[in-house]
Amino acid sequence: MQPPRDIVFDIETSPLPKEELDIYAEKFPKKPKARTYKLDAPALYWTTGQVACVGMKWNEDEEVVICTGDEYDTLNEAHEVMKNYQDTFIGFNSIDFDAKFLTGRAWKHLIPMKLPISKYAKNHIDIYQILGGSYGSTKVSLAELAHHFGVDDAHWGHGAMVADWWTNKEYNNIIKHCRGDIISTYRIYTGFIKPMYRGF
């Protein structure tokens, strides 16, 4: 059986342990303090954050969400799935964030994860690049898009809560949030992006 062409993916991130952030702050004192110490800000950079969870979905009834409580194990399990789906990757802000974060963290652990990370890659569809953006009226969140298209029934929690969930080992909450994101992304893609945009 041939694997499906398209795989939707999303990650959740959390800050590195405080002792590692202390070392980073000492080695790179010119970096903004917020980069290492402000709430969940370190989780936004793969040099000061870690992958807490990886979600992948390839059809309406099949998905996998991996959150083991250990970054290496999570990345290794995700790699074993992703290496079989090297055709088209779909995400939300996935070119500038998810794919590069995953790659940087995986390579640190010597996990040979290969993801299309260029904005010109033809096998990576970033919904944020198509319908979102960084400025003015085009800036929109996944939650807003899901609400706009009426596919937000699975949305749960907020990414800013992941750092606390991780600290408190509330992994089921991280999984539930990530699962909601991949379902929303999948439904936006299959219901609107794929029929309306692809092929133009």
Residue 1 lies in a domain: no
Interior/surface letters 47-72, b for 16+ CB within 10 angstroms, e for the rest: ebbbbbbbbbbbeeeebebbbbeebb
Question: What's phi and psi for 146, nearest 5 deg?
Answer: -60, -40
- Enclosing domain of residue 102: 6-125+134-196
Nearest residue to 134 via CA among 147, 152, 148, 119: 119
Residue 88 lies in a domain: yes
Arithmetic mean of pLDDT over the chain: 88
Give the model confidence (pLDDT) of 73-92 as tens digits.
999 999 999 888 767 899 99
Residue 29 lies in a domain: yes
Give the model confidence (pLDDT) of 125-144 as tens digits.
999 988 876 655 567 889 99
* Tokens coding 119: 């904005």
- pLDDT for residue 60: 86
Residue 21 lies in a domain: yes
User: Does pLDDT of 199 surpass 90?
Assistant: no
Give the model confidence (pLDDT) of 1-58 as tens digits.
455 578 999 999 999 998 998 888 888 887 765 565 565 688 889 999 999 999 999 9
Residue 18 lies in a domain: yes
- pLDDT for residue 122: 86
- pLDDT for residue 135: 57
CATH code for position 62: 3.30.420.10
Indicate the burial class of 42 (C-beta count within 10 angstroms; 0-12, 13-18, 19 or more): buried
User: Does pLDDT of 186 surpass 70?
Assistant: yes
pTM for the full predicted model: 0.91
Number of domains in the chain: 1
